[in-house]
Amino acid sequence: MNTLYRSHIEICRLLEALAARRSSLFVEFDSRTVGSRILRVNPDEGHFDCAYGTNKRQNGRMLKATSLKLTSHLQDADLVFEVSNPAEVEFDGQPAVRFALPDVLVRYHGRKAPRFSVAGDASLRCIADTAGILPFEAHIIDISHDGLGGIVFDRDIRLEAGAVLRCCRIITHDGKAVVADLEVRHLTAITLADGSPALRAGFRFIQAPAEIPELINFYNQEFD
């Protein structure tokens, strides 16, 4: 069974597993392939760093590419994902290349990578803290199998790490509401794609609702 990941947490775990195993990573661009490996993954800053290949000329061309396809192998499956806008950085005193974390990663079993389509807005509407004093509108942007996730909301909302959002109503793609309590783990100021400021909070479900598999499947889609 193949799996399409849109969960930031799950994607980082897979990339960190590749880094820990020093797995070979192949960067494809302009009908060329550069061999590499992942040096480190930074989930908080949203990027990962890779070693340069041995061919300096190809490295230079890679840095100029606007879109690249990366492939690797983990356990019994192949991983395929796309990145863009590489940048040169330094790692342990040596030049390396940095990529933004991919929005989508496919883990597949088989000889050919499957075709797939992804909805543009990979988020779930949420009315947060409905049992509190001031409920607010938010969007769930990530959920993992162990009940961790990410939520985005207006920067004017005042929250602190450790806060508990009671009776949050998470609206699924078919219009149903899943009610759950969320504990805020950390907060980060971000800028949305339209340029507006926002806050991103990492959270965990205090008691995972029975519908959590349905929510997870929104981000991690299995297909043949």
The whole-number pLDDT of residue 110 equals 62
- The residue among 42, 34, 53 whose CA lies nearest residue 15 is 42
Tokens of 15: 């990339």
Residue 119: predicted pLDDT: 52
- Write down the pLDDT at residue 147: 86
Tokens of 135: 């409920």
Residue 3's region, left for phi above 0, alpha for psi from -120 to 50, else beta, is: beta
Please, are residues 88 and 95 in contact by the beta-carbon 8 Å criterion? yes
Count of CB atoms situated within 10 Å of the CB of 191: 10
Specify the pLDDT at position 160: 92
pLDDT of residue 120: 56
Joined together, the tokens standing for residue 198 give 């926002």
Q: What are the residue boundaries of the structural domains of the chain, listed by start?
A: 2-108, 124-223
Give the three-class secondary structure for 212.
helix
Please give the model's pTM, rounded to 2 decimal places.
0.78
The whole-angstrom distance between residue 47's C-alpha and the CA centroid of its chain comes to 10
Q: CATH second-level architecture of 2-108?
A: Roll (2.30)
Return the structure tokens found at 179: 């009610």
What are the average pLDDT values for consecutive 10-residue runs of the chain, which has 224 residues? 88 96 89 88 93 84 88 90 90 91 87 50 88 92 87 93 94 88 93 88 89 83 71
- In CATH terms, the superfamily for domain 124-223 is predicted glycosyltransferase like domains (2.40.10.220)
**Cα(193)–Cα(133) distance, rounded to whole angstroms?**
30
Q: What is the pLDDT of residue 112?
A: 53
